[in-house]
Structure 1
Amino acid sequence: MALLGSFAPTGTRPIRWYNYAAYGSNDILGAGSMAVISGWVLIFYTTFCGLEAWEAGLIFTVARVLDAIASPLIGHFSDSLAGTKVGRLIGRRRVFLLAAIPLLPSFAIMWVSGQSFWYYLVTYVLFELVYALEIIPFETLAAEMAKDYKSKAKFAGIRILFAQASAILAGFLPAMLIEALGEDSADTFLYMGILFSVLFMVTASFLYLCSWERPPEEVMQVRGNGEKASLGASFKALYRNLFSTLRIRAFRLHLGMYLGGYISQDVFNAAFTFFVVFALAGSISVASTLLGFMYIVQFVAVMIAINLALRSSPARAYQLAAASFAIGVIVLLLMWSAGVRSGDALLWVPIIFAGLGRGALNYIPWATYNYMADADEAVTGRRREGAFAGVMTFVRKLTQSAAVAGVTAIMSWGGFQSAATVQSDQAIMTLALVLGIGTVGMLIFGVFVSTKFKLNAETHDRLMAQIDRFKQDPDAAPIDQETKLLVEDLTGWRYDQLWGKNNVV
């Protein structure tokens, strides 16, 4: 196995099972850390650290805003390293992986109980920045290693399968540790943080050893006179370059679907554990078991979604997934209003529906993301995977921080009392409304956007065929009228403005 090679001519290196496995396993960091944080950090902060709900929300907001600033910088910087010595020697993406590996234990130090607000703010911000340093380059590697639709779909599929496996661990592990340490032990979360930190370092190292990038000469930024752009000149165009990605129609629609599917889960995750403990009269252990089982269902749902997205279309699969998740949330709330409480077997019904929807919603946006740089290439004639990864993370972090801050603010407004063993009827009703309206509302938004999204296996093949024609002749006529209209729909630009004949960058 030639594990250590950074570069290979695109299309000449076969993708082996261990390359797929290495790429996918890294989402133990990408999704696993977020599953732990979204499921447990609010409970940890308010129950074991003495923070108020609004203080916990403020930590999220500050960390995500700072990270949202750093993420585009990392994405743009990685795009700009192709012609540098470091980029040629290690790789413009993989150098970031190498730098992040020794910093990943920052996840564990978040979970030390009994510290001040400022300790939790600083440690959370630190991990978010390390997370961005590793994840943004990782998100570009599928497009670096593969060109065809099916290979990219496989990369996305194996990634989300690992993500769901790590989420299962994040769901069940607290319950197992609680059984060993006791219901009131804060060490539950510290040991969980240590275990995940070790997994993060192992999988990031595996990815570094088993990945490669497009050769530098294929992706080098070139100006009209053939002169390479300097790093300094590249940075002057930073924000123009980054936010020009939003001028690609397929990417705007993709972001809408992504945010609809993921923010709905942010709201659900932020409220669910509290809902189980206070509305359903359960416990942290019960919430852990329910989440763990939900993640098992999500794992199965990803495998179903992979086949459905390949055989039908990502948009149709998305719509079915959103409907399933919404049904699960609505049924859960109806059962609660009818008097169903923790321990009732009927609770597994909404958990199954929600898990089936959430699993597919996790997979589909990441499957379509791998094709966004292709639509952009038709417009700009350049490969800008890093810019897309940076902007995607920027938008995601800002909206996620807003979602979590919004949930915690509404909880506080509704009368939620930190560290209380019993909450008022008003506080519980507020939790229920957040869980229902917030989750289902974002799903409706995502479904509306998906009705306009036309990218699938067939349309991607047509797009790539037209790009190949542009590479042979920048003034090439469209293959046919149908292809012309399709490329215009995916890019959002008239045909005569494609392949750099525009002011996008």
Structure 2
Amino acid sequence: MAQPAARPVRLVNYLAYGANDVLGAGSMAVISAWVLIFYTRFCGLSAGQAALIFAVARILDAFVSPTIGHISDHFDRHALGRRFGRRRFFVLAAIPLLPTFALMWLPGQTFWYYLVSYVLFELTYALEIIPYETLAAEMASDFATKARLAGVRILFAQGSAILAGFLPLWLINWLGRDSPHTFLIMGVIFAALFMATAGFLYAFSWERQRPVPPKPAAGSPLLHLWRNLSSTLRIRAFRLHLGMYLGGYISQDIFNAAFTFFVIFALAGSTQAASALLGTMYIVQLFAVMLAIRMALRSSPSRAYRMAAVCFALGVAALIGLWWAGLPATSGWIWIGMGLVGLGRGALNYIPWATYNYMADVDEIVTGRRREGSFAGVMTFIRKATQAAAVALVGLLMDAGGFAPKADVQSHGAVLTLVLVMGIGTWAMLGFGMAVSRRFRLSRATHGVLMGEIEHLRSGGREPTSAQARDVVQDLTGWDYESLWGNNPVGGKL
């Protein structure tokens, strides 16, 4: 049976969908750039304690996120899901909880306060962001519309990252460099933005029609949940997508966690200088996203990914070269490094989210079902678990290298450790993502073939429409054509 006609995605829908990534990316930009500085320089925690808070919260959230994704896939069995939307209900429920972000930045508290407040925000973040990540696939089915939705999302993400970079600088200039209230005011401003954009998203988004919700599977609900989630990893395109996503994003996590310390202690800069550099980098990223949107639509996303990774790697090399040459953060040469870093990071931010929007389509031809929530949950689970490990490792290595909290000057060993972590860690993850990208062949052309085969199977077809279609679908799914459309363990048949 053919799918009902798609509802047109208008400008206000693009804007509402994109604006919500002020929460998705904006909060992560603030946290990754500033939380270690806030905890160590204004709260007196060691780098190891700060990294432990980050790691515990992310690991707990990593288990909660896939559960929320699974629940949202089936929430229209319940009256609340039918009334408010199986995805959008969670967006609405999270709005009054988003001020927990501001509570994270209250100065003068204990280790346990910062641990609990961070965990509360991470759980609220998961409650809202996991269902949100399904909405592009819910609202559109064609390659171009999904690519534009991803593009608008990342443009808003880069705008919020620019604010995350410059806002501390403006507040420091207003309140003074030693005021701990800088970050609290920043947290309040961002929390208000999060609530406004989540409300905008709820008002101008929708979900695809699903008249008859599936019946619950027999047996243990918990066992069914984890079988369903783990089965997403049996989709070849999704496994490769995860590799590219982790390579591009964890390289940025490592860079973000180390960069502010690098500017202050390796390049003899200041918090204000780091803020200005980050803000400028995010402006460059904004323009890089615009270029990446065009490249991904007209060319291969995997090729654009590799070009971006090389650009980012060269930028990091240029920054480390400044330290090696003994030049300070005020040197004009630093803008070359920051420009290259920004160009690379902008594309690396966009491309994985653009390709993610097609994963449920690849899964549908395997299972005959739509599981956007499960993919969002698993993606966040793996992302946050690895992100927690990466940032915690940065903090622990800084501790091992002799980093001293609240100190204005660090030892040569501490600075060398910081430089090596930022360089080697970033380059290693970029190399991993590039290697994976060479095997990823989802593009506008192959997606078109995939969608044609889905309609062919939905209409009762059993043989591929052509030998080329067979090859494309088998490469994307990792399954033989005869095993598609539910004729496999993932789809429920042995």
Normalising by the smaller structure, the TM-score range is over 0.9
Q: CA deviation at 1:234?
A: 5.1
State the Cα distance separating 1:81 from its structure 2 match. Answer: 1.2
**How far did residue 233 of structure 1 move?**
6.0
Name the residue aligned to 2:322. 335
Which residue of structure 2 aligns with residue 185 of structure 1?
179
SS state of the match for residue 433, structure 1?
helix
Q: Of residues 129, 134, 141 in structure 2, which corresponds to 1:140? A: 134
Contact 2:462–2:482 under 8 Å retained in 1: no
Given that 2:6 and 2:140 are in contact with CA atoms closer than 8 Å, whether structure 1 keeps it comes out as no
Contact 2:33 2:257 in 1 (8 A): yes
Matches within 5 A, 1:470-489: 470-473=457-460, 475-489=461-475
Map 1:404-483; keep pairs closer than 5 Å: 404-473=391-460, 475-483=461-469
- Output one character per residue of 1:259-303: Cα deviation in whole Å (capped at 9) or x when no partner: 000000000000000000000000000000000000000000000
Is 257-266 or 330-339 further displaced after alignment? 330-339
Identify which of 64, 72, 75 aligns with 1:81. 75
The answer to whether the aligner puts 1:370 opposite 2:357 as a matched pair is: yes
CA distance in 2, matches of 1:125, 1:304: 36
- The structure-2 alpha-carbon separation of the partners of 1:79 and 1:332, relative to structure 1 and needing over 3 Å to count, comes to same
Q: Within 1, Cα distance between the matches of 2:370 and 2:60?
A: 27
Deviation of 1:87 after TM superposition, in Å, equals 1.6
Measured against aligned partners, the alpha-carbon deviations of 1:83-102 in whole angstroms (never above 9, x if no partner) come to: 32222111100010111000
1:268 partnered with 2:255: yes
Equivalent residue in structure 2 for 1:208, among 202, 205, 209? 202
The Cα of 1:217 is off from its aligned counterpart by 2.0
**Structure 2 residue 160 is the aligned partner of structure 1 residue 166:** yes
- Counterpart residue type for residue 321 of structure 2: L
Alignment of 1:21-60 (within 5 A): 21-60=15-54
Partner of 1:345, secondary structure, is: coil
2:347 maps to 360
The CA distance in 1 between the partners of 2:66 and 2:440, in whole Å, is: 25
**Cα distance, 1:340 vs structure 2:** 1.3
CA contact (8 A) 1:245 1:387 kept: yes
SS at 2:333's partner residue?
A: helix
Question: How far apart are 1:171 and its partner, in Å?
Answer: 0.1
- Tell me the amino acid that sits aligned with residue 417 of structure 1: A
Select the residue among 250, 263, 283 that pairs with 1:296.
283
Shift of 1:229: 2.5
Q: 1:500 aligns with which of 475, 486, 492?
A: 486
User: In the alignment, which of 237, 244, 251 is matched to residue 257 of structure 1?
Assistant: 244
Amino acid at match of 2:187: G
Quick one: structure 1 residues 232 and 80, their matched pair in 2 at CA, closer, same or farther if it must change by over 3 Å? farther
- Determine helix, strand or coil for the equivalent of 1:206: helix
Contact 1:10 1:145 in 2 (8 A): no
Asked if the contact 1:80–1:234 (Cα under 8 Å) also holds between the matched residues in 2, the reply is no
Give CA deviations for 1:227-262 in whole Å, capped at 9, x if unaligned: x22698654400000010000000000000000000
Choose which of 378, 388, 405 in structure 2 pairs with 1:401: 388
**Counterparts of 1:492 and 1:423, CA distance in 2:** 51
Task: Give, as a single letter, the amino acid of the residue that structure 2 aligns with 1:240.
Answer: R
Q: Which residue in 2 is equivalent to 1:491?
A: 477
The Cα of 1:70 is off from its aligned counterpart by 0.4
Gaps of 5+ in 2: none
Name the CA shift for 1:91/1:231 in 2 (closer, same or farther; >3 Å). Answer: farther
Counterparts of 1:258 and 1:103 in 2: how far apart (Å)?
A: 28
Equivalence for 1:95: 89
TM-score by length of 1: 0.95
Please point out which of 385, 388, 397 is paired with 2:375. 388
- SS at 2:489 equivalent: coil
Judge conservation of contact 2:217–2:224 (CA < 8 Å) in 1.
no
Change (3 A) 1:428 1:465: same
Give the 3-state SS of the residue equivalent to 2:98 in structure 1. helix
Q: Give the stretch that moved more between structures: 152-161 or 336-345.
A: 336-345
**% identity of equivalent residues:** 63
Distance 1:491 1:46 in 2: 46
Structure 2 equivalent of residue 241 of structure 1: 228
- Scaled by the length of structure 2, the TM-score of the pair is 0.98
RMSD over equivalenced CA pairs, Å: 1.1
- Equivalent residue of 2:454, what SS? helix
Q: Is the 8 A contact 1:10 1:214 kept in 2?
A: no
CA–CA separation in structure 2 for the residues paired with 1:229 and 1:385: 17
Q: Contact between 1:88 and 1:216, CA under 8 Å: does it hold in 2?
A: no
Q: Residue by residue, what CA displacement relative to the aligned partner does 1:456-480 show, whole Å, maximum 9, x if unpaired?
A: 000000000000011111x521010
